[in-house]
Amino acid sequence: MKEKLEQLKVLLHEIHDLSAANAVLEWDQQVNMPRGAAEDRGEQSATLSRIVHDKSTSDELGKLLNELTETAQNMDPDSDDARLIKVARRKYDKNAKVSGDWVAAYAKETAVAQSTWEQARAKDDFELFRPYLERLVELRRQYADFFKPYTHIYDPLLDDFEPGMKTADVQEIFTALKKEQVELIQQISQRPQVDNSFLFLNYDGEGQIAFGKKVITDFGYDWNRGRQDISVHPFTTSFELNDVRITTKIVPNFLNPCIFGTFHECGHALYEQGIAKKYNRTPIADGASMAIHESQSRMWENLVGRSAAFWKRYYKDLQQIFPSQLGNVNGETFYKGINKVEPSLIRIEADEATYNLHIMLRLEMEIGLMEGTIKAKDAAEVWKEKFKAYLGIVPPNNKEGVLQDVHWSSGLFGYFPTYALGNLVSSQLWERMTMDNPNVESQIEKGDFTKLLGWYREHIHQYGAKYEPQELVQKVTGEKINAAPFMRYLKSKFGAIYGL
């Protein structure tokens, strides 16, 4: 048994290392690579992806997992070894259904599509990106076909990011959530609006970066095992537990994207940096799911970063960096301004009360594209129609519409729902955390995040992907993922800001 486990770990370490090398190529493409190298990078990614896939579906690995799965029936099901076998088995079974040719074609197509998306977005030219969107939709439909029979074509895509979650489960959660959120937004719309005009002045990029770095250092981001760079769309990537990198974007005439985007990506990175080192280079050295991952990024971005307690400590620091812009704006006005509720065009800039509507729109779009009820060539116009229905405004261009997110150019259909699910989980975990640490607000006011981060390290981070997402949430909170804590949070926070 021990010898076979060691053999398994050797194989898993090799697969991880090759995957990490591919991730370095992807990071470099978004941060450093010259645009003209996209096709060459696509070939490199395709080659590496095929090698990873071949090793991930090898007869040697399959035979070893069959033997260990049988042996694991006599093990403590919560032991690290039993969980490693279970997680590795799940990944092997999924990978084995997918052809190597598809994996290589997908890697090549996404590398070129992502570079083309950047150009199309900069030029506000949907037609430039359209052929790639059409091919990527077709590739993802082919991917779903590997998993037939399925209940819904979107299920295999969603399962990649949220193991065990079905399309119908998400739709049920979103249907109930939409009703309550729309009611809250309508109540807020009837109240006097807060002022946030001071956020749209000219803010020096270096100052924005400096403030963000100061804060995430206080949060606990380990710069010895991470770095920050600039990219078109913010993201976090992990090559291993000792190399977790984040990026951000700078908008010179809007303060929010860089600051709150930095907090958001730091939340992802803190999760990865907090996974127990004993799991390094194995499939457990990952988040339990993207909803759990997003619960961490959204928590640091919103529950901490947009809280009154946080700005009691950090607003003076920001004023010192930007005295001409914020010198005459008091702390209460600033706090209300960064939490202004108003339908907006850009998802990553949306307020907490309307954010989930952006996700629901994208879920409808992705389901329609997979079902074939929405054609990729019509995506720009359908986007505008759905945006009007969900948020009451129409994007004036495609840059602020269908081209705003990087996800589709990366082929990440199935990812978007996890943002909204992450919002729900963040509030569930926060309610549990505050029961164990009732003085968290005063700690945040002092800029002391030690106990806060420590709680998440103890209850969430250290386990990585050892537990399935619903299992982990229930283990910590006593309940499965549900919307009640999130709605309690929204109604309390915005009820106070808007006097509801």
Active site residues: 265
Q: Tell me the C-alpha distance between 245 and 271, whole Å.
A: 12
Q: Tell me the C-alpha distance between 296 and 238, whole Å.
A: 15
Q: Tell me the C-alpha distance between 296 and 426, whole Å.
A: 7
Strand partners, 244: 238
Contact of 356 with 364, CB cutoff 8 Å? no
In terms of C-beta density within 10 A (0-12 exposed, 13-18 middle, 19 or more buried), how is residue 110 classed? buried
Contact of 409 with 116, CB cutoff 8 Å? yes
> Residue 200, Cα to own-chain centre: how many angstroms?
26
Q: What is the 3-state secondary structure (H, E, C) of 85-105?
A: HHHHHHHHHHHHCCCHHHHHH
Q: Which of 68, 70, 59, 66 is nearest to 96 (CA)?
A: 59
* Phi and psi, residue 229, nearest 5°: -135, 175
Q: Tell me which DSSP letter residue 461 carries.
A: G
| Helix, strand, coil % in the chain, rounded to nearest 5 | 70, 5, 30
The residues, ordered by sequence, that sit 6+ positions from 122 with a Cβ below 8 Å of its Cβ are 399
Complete edge-to-edge strand list for the sheet that includes strand 243-248? 228-230, 243-248, 236-240
Residue type, 207: G
In terms of C-beta density within 10 A (0-12 exposed, 13-18 middle, 19 or more buried), how is residue 237 classed? buried
Q: Tell me the C-alpha distance between 492 and 252, whole Å.
A: 32
